[in-house]
Every structure is written in structure tokens, then in C-alpha cells.
């Protein structure tokens, strides 16, 4: 089976979030039994020398709505996976993938339209049985492929329905979308153009990244205005749970850790914790360490964290946060960091630091308002860190409340109401568990034995591909 896997970001080349991780892990897993080519833009930030990325010598022009765009193809191979890079100056020569953390670039419609047109051109030039598109950045390619008469089967995966690719109606012209598609049944969305509708409507199959999220997005509460459109297309909608790259996230071999460890010998986890406390200059390594890793946005539960953080920090614990996002959250958290000695804050994203935090921590805080799937909780459990999560989306599918004498893969603390009182009660429950070191160690060992691997996810996608073919 020949598969073209398209994503706006793929680890380790470029990453802003979980999309990059899952794009690499899934395409690599699928490649073990199929011929997979991954495709992404060649952003300025990508180190071509380090990854041995070279020009293929193949160039072509895209021409739509009276303007010509030069495309050059580059390629490399990483862990046996072939990756093709699309280079166009307008698309790639930027300081950020999509724009500063507070806002996207004003011409993202044109930038990613160039990417989508290039994807379709690649499909037309090579024989691919499956085109797998991911999130809004590639969604337009489904519509363009249909207009071009491409017969390749198309899978469209929604990683986060909150980001739909909404642009003014006027962008139809500049991005090369035939005006005939500006209808409510196609791409029109309250007077704007909605790229995600193009992906959903024109794909042969639509997937989300967890079964619960597939159900939730068909409701007004979680549908972000597309619940009705999704219900129209529900026959081709499937929820397939994401997984993690267990080779990349393996505490027994992770080169980013100061000390490795495993489920049978966890001494190294204590070493990682002590070293991390030394790095952040907090001399409290006997206290439980709670961590948050992710974007500082409302979706990730930042409103709840900020509401509860001062009371949380009155407890015998240390809380460390790593992430970036909206300025209002930066400002609020900085104020807390200046006055609380048991709180550490690191702005930006650092892959090595993230691995160190997963290994050092006792508990992962993940109070997402909604969560399509989430990888952090699975990574945390792989590293013997117990998650504390809001019962929604993929968190609901992967983390289960600790119950005496009952073992279910993915044990943690699950709360179902986004209130400060309920959240802090889960924190207290975690502190009680921390005091019972025997029980804590038993749950850590059990979670580290669970299978959260991407291979399970890949098998489900293979079944879907085969059903379409």
C-alpha cells in the first residue's frame, strides 16, 4: 500500500505541539508494513544539514487565480521513513510555523493553500492509494484533489476541532478555491471560508484522535459550530485513539535523562527528581512534584489552574510548569512565581526539559477543558508519573480513577467538574497517595507496564485504509 501522509509539522523537524509527535510516530509505524511518504513544509527553522535534507532536483510551478508559485522539493530519510519537504519562499521563510503565540500570520490562508496545492500535485505525479491529511492546514487538499479528479482515497484526521482554518470569503480567490464551493453544504461557515469543512466533506473517511472525542464533537457543547455538519457526515466518522512512540519515550534508554530507569528498577527516577530540583534551585526534593507541560491557553485548563494555584501551593508540594501561550496567562503565572518559593515556571518549549520533567515528576496535572486525545498523560505514565486529569475526550479514554483492588490500564486521578474545589480535592487525593509509598510504587509499576504504543493506533488505521480500498 502506498500512502502519502501530510502534516504541517512532523517531529523532529518542526514542532509546536502534539501534532508533530503523532505525525512522526504514526507515519513511522505505518511504514513498517507499507510504503509511506510523509510530507511537510521546509520551514526556515529546520536544520537541513543536521537532518541531511537535500534537494531532489525536482521543481514545478503552481498556478492559481493568475499568480504563479515556485515549488522545490527536498527529501531525507529518518528511521527508514521517507520525508518530502515542500519549499516555497512565502510558505517557509518565517520566524514561526504559524505566527507568534498570540496570533497567526495574516496570510496563513495563502501559505497553507500553497502547501495544499503542492500536496495535490505530488499525488497526481505519483501513484498513491491513500492520502492521509491532518488538521486544518492540509484540509483544503481534499477539496482540491476532488476538483482535480484525483481518485486516491482520502483520510482526514481532526486533531483539534477548535482550530478550523477560518478565513474571509475574499480568500477564496487568492487561495484558488472555486467559488462554486461557497455553500453551506461545503465550505461556507457564517459568511467565512472553513477549511475543516472542506476536509470533512470531501474525505472518504474522517477520524478523530480518540473515541470519546468523536462522540463529543457531534454535540453543541464540543462541536465548535460544526456539530451539525459532523452529524451529517457521521457515517464516515471514526474515533481512533492516538498512541506514543515508545522508542522515543522510554525511560530505560532516554538519552535526555540524567539517569535511566525501568518498571523493575526505578532508582533512576529518584535521581532524576533530585537533579531536577537542583536545576530549578528548589531544595525540597522530598516533597511530591506536580508538573504541567503544554500550551498556556484556555483549552488546557489555565483558567482553573490560575484560580486554584495559590491554594494549591499552600500544600506540601512543588509545582513546575513548562509551556507558552497567551500573554494574560504568562502575566498571571509570573506574579505567582515571584512570590511562591515552591513554584517553578519555564516559558517556551524545550524537548529535553520536558523529558526531564516527565521523569522527575510524581504527578502530571492536565485539567483540560476539552482534549481531543492528549499524549502527555500517556508519556507521563510511561515514565512512572501519575496523571491527574479532567474527564473529557481522550483523557477519559486513557486515564481511569484509582479504585482499591481494581486494576485498569491508565490509573490516575480523574475529576468530572471544572471547579477549584473538585480540582483541589484531586490534589489532596494525590498527596494522600504520595504518603503511601508502597501503593504509589505499585501504581507506577502497573502504569509503566501498560501498552500506550502507537502500534495499536497504526493497526486501526490500516484496517480503515483496507476497508476503503
Q: Are residues 288 and 198 in the same domain?
A: no
Cα–Cα distance for residue pair 38/31, rounded to 1 Å: 10
Q: Which three cell numbers stand for residue 429?
A: 487525593
Q: Is residue 292 part of a domain?
A: yes
CB atoms within 10 A of CB 185: 10
Q: Are residues 221 and 301 in the same domain?
A: no
Residue with cell 497567526: 104
If we measure between CA atoms, which residue out of 180, 218, 219 comes closest to residue 200? Answer: 218
- CATH number of the domain enclosing 113: 3.40.50.2000
Q: What is the DSSP string of 237-252?
A: EEE----B-TTTS-TT
Query: How does DSSP classify residue 234?
Result: G
Q: Which three cell numbers stand for residue 123?
A: 499525488
Q: Are residues 332 and 278 in the same domain?
A: yes
Q: Are residues 222 and 285 in the same domain?
A: no
If we measure between CA atoms, which residue out of 64, 207, 192, 63 comes closest to residue 133? Answer: 207
- Convert the pLDDT of each residue in 188-221 to its tens digit: 999 999 999 999 999 999 999 999 999 999 999 9
Contact between 202 and 146 (Cβ < 8 Å)? yes
Q: Is residue 262 part of a domain?
A: no
Cα–Cα distance for residue pair 410/397, rounded to 1 Å: 9
Give kind and range of the element (H or E) at residue 399.
Answer: none
C-alpha neighbours within 13 Å on the C-beta side of residue 53: 23
Residue 450 burial by CB count (10 A; 0-12/13-18/19+): exposed, middle or buried? Answer: middle
Q: Is residue 237 part of a domain?
A: yes
If we measure between CA atoms, which residue out of 254, 256, 252, 287 comes closest to residue 273? Answer: 287
User: For the chain, what percent of residues have pLDDT higher than 70?
Assistant: 100
- Convert the pLDDT of each residue in 394-431 to its tens digit: 999 999 999 988 889 999 999 999 999 999 999 999 99
Q: Which domain holds residue 7?
A: 2-245+454-468
Q: Which three cell numbers stand for residue 316?
A: 506540601
pLDDT the model gives residue 17: 84
Q: Are residues 323 and 223 in the same domain?
A: no
Helix residue spans in 239-297 (DSSP H): 267-279
Q: Are residues 208 and 335 in the same domain?
A: no
Mean pLDDT, to the nearest integer, of 230-242? Answer: 97
Judge whether residue 101 has pLDDT over 80.
no
Q: Are residues 232 and 337 in the same domain?
A: no
Q: Are residues 117 and 57 in the same domain?
A: yes
Cα–Cα distance for residue pair 466/463, rounded to 1 Å: 5
Contact between 159 and 207 (Cβ < 8 Å)? no
Cα–Cα distance for residue pair 86/10, rounded to 1 Å: 13
Q: Are residues 42 and 108 in the same domain?
A: yes
Cα–Cα distance for residue pair 106/441, rounded to 1 Å: 50
Cα–Cα distance for residue pair 326/330, rounded to 1 Å: 7
Q: Are residues 311 and 382 in the same domain?
A: yes
Contact between 321 and 300 (Cβ < 8 Å)? no
| Number of compact structural domains in the chain | 2
Cα–Cα distance for residue pair 360/269, rounded to 1 Å: 6
Mean pLDDT, to the nearest integer, of 313-338? Answer: 96
Query: How does DSSP classify residue 403?
Result: B
Angle value at C-alpha 196, between 191 and 201, nearest 5 degrees: 95
- Convert the pLDDT of each residue in 368-383 to its tens digit: 999 999 999 999 999 9
Helix (H, G, I), strand (E, B) or coil at 362: coil
If we measure between CA atoms, which residue out of 369, 391, 397 comes closest to residue 240? Answer: 397
pTM of the model: 0.93
Cα–Cα distance for residue pair 424/64, rounded to 1 Å: 55
Q: Are residues 129 and 29 in the same domain?
A: yes
Q: Is residue 252 part of a domain?
A: no
Q: Are residues 214 and 308 in the same domain?
A: no
Model confidence at 103, in pLDDT bands (50, 70, 90)? Answer: confident
Q: Is residue 240 part of a domain?
A: yes
Helix (H, G, I), strand (E, B) or coil at 159: coil
Q: Is residue 256 part of a domain?
A: no
Q: Is residue 106 part of a domain?
A: yes
Q: Is residue 239 part of a domain?
A: yes
pLDDT the model gives residue 126: 86
CA 291 to chain centre: 18
Amino acid at each position: 500500500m502506498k500512502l502519502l501522509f501530510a502534516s504541517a509539522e512532523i517531529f523532529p523537524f518542526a514542532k509546536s505541539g502534539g501534532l508533530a509527535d503523532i505525525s512522526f510516530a504514526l507515519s513511522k509505524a505505518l511504514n513498517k508494513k507499507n510504503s509511506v511518504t510523509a510530507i511537510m513544509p521546509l520551514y526556515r527553522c529546520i536544520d537541513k544539514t543536521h537532518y541531511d535534507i537535500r534537494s531532489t532536483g525536482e521543481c514545478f510551478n503552481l498556478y492559481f487565480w493568475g499568480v504563479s508559485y515556485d515549488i522545490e522539493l527536498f527529501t531525507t530519510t529518518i528511521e527508514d521513513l521517507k520525508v518530502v519537504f515542500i519549499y516555497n519562499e512565502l510558505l517557509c521563510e518565517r520566524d514561526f510555523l504559524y505566527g507568534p503565540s498570540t496570533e497567526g500570520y495574516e496570510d496563513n490562508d495563502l501559505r497553507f493553500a500553497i502547501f495544499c496545492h503542492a500536496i495535490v500535485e505530488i499525488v497526481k505525479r505519483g501513484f498513491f492509494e491513500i492520502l492521509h491529511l491532518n488538521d486544518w492546514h492540509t484540509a483544503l487538499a481534499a477539496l482540491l484533489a476532488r476538483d482535480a479528479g484525483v481518485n486516491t482515497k482520502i483520510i482526514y484526521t481532526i486533531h483539534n476541532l477548535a482550530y478550523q482554518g477560518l478565513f474571509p470569503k475574499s480568500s477564496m480567490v487568492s487561495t484558488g478555491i472555486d467559488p462554486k464551493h461557497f455553500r453551506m453544504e461545503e465550505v461556507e461557515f457564517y459568511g467565512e471560508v472553513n477549511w475543516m469543512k472542506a476536509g470533512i466533506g470531501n474525505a472518504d473517511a474522517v477520524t478523530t484522535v480518540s473515541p470519546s472525542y468523536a462522540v463529543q464533537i457531534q454535540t453543541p457543547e464540543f462541536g465548535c459550530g460544526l456539530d451539525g455538519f459532523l452529524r451529517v457526515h457521521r457515517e464516515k466518522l471514526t474515533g481512533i485513539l492516538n498512541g506514543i512512540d515508545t522508542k522515543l519515550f522510554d525511560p530505560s534508554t532516554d538519552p535526555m535523562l540524567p539517569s535511566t530507569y525501568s518498571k523493575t528498577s526505578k532508582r533512576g527516577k529518584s535521581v532524576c527528581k533530585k537533579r531536577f530540583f537542583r536545576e530549578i534551585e528548589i531544595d525540597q526534593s522530598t516533597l511530591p512534584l506536580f508538573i504541567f507541560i503544554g500550551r498556556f491557553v484556555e483549552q488546557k485548563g489555565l483558567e482553573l489552574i490560575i484560580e486554584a494555584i495559590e491554594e494549591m501551593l499552600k500544600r506540601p508540594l512543588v509545582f513546575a510548569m513548562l509551556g507558552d501561550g497567551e500573554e494574560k496567562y504568562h502575566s498571571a503565572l509570573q506574579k505567582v512565581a515571584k512570590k511562591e518559593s515552591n513554584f517553578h515556571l519555564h516559558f517556551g518549549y524545550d524537548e529535553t526539559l520536558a523529558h526531564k520533567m516527565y521523569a522527575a515528576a510524581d504527578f502530571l496535572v492536565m485539567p483540560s477543558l476539552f482534549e481531543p486525545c492528549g499524549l502527555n498523560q500517556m508519556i507521563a505514565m510511561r515514565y512512572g508519573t501519575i496523571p491527574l486529569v479532567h474527564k473529557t475526550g481522550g483523557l477519559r479514554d486513557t486515564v481511569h480513577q484509582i479504585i482499591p483492588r481494581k486494576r485498569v490500564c491508565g490509573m490516575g486521578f480523574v475529576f468530572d467538574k471544572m471547579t477549584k474545589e473538585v480540582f483541589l480535592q484531586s490534589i489532596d487525593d494525590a498527596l494522600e497517595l504520595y504518603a503511601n509509598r508502597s501503593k504509589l510504587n505499585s501504581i507506577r509499576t502497573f502504569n509503566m507496564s501498560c501498552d500506550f504504543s502507537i502500534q495499536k493506533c497504526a493497526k486501526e488505521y490500516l484496517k480503515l485504509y483496507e476497508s476503503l480500498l
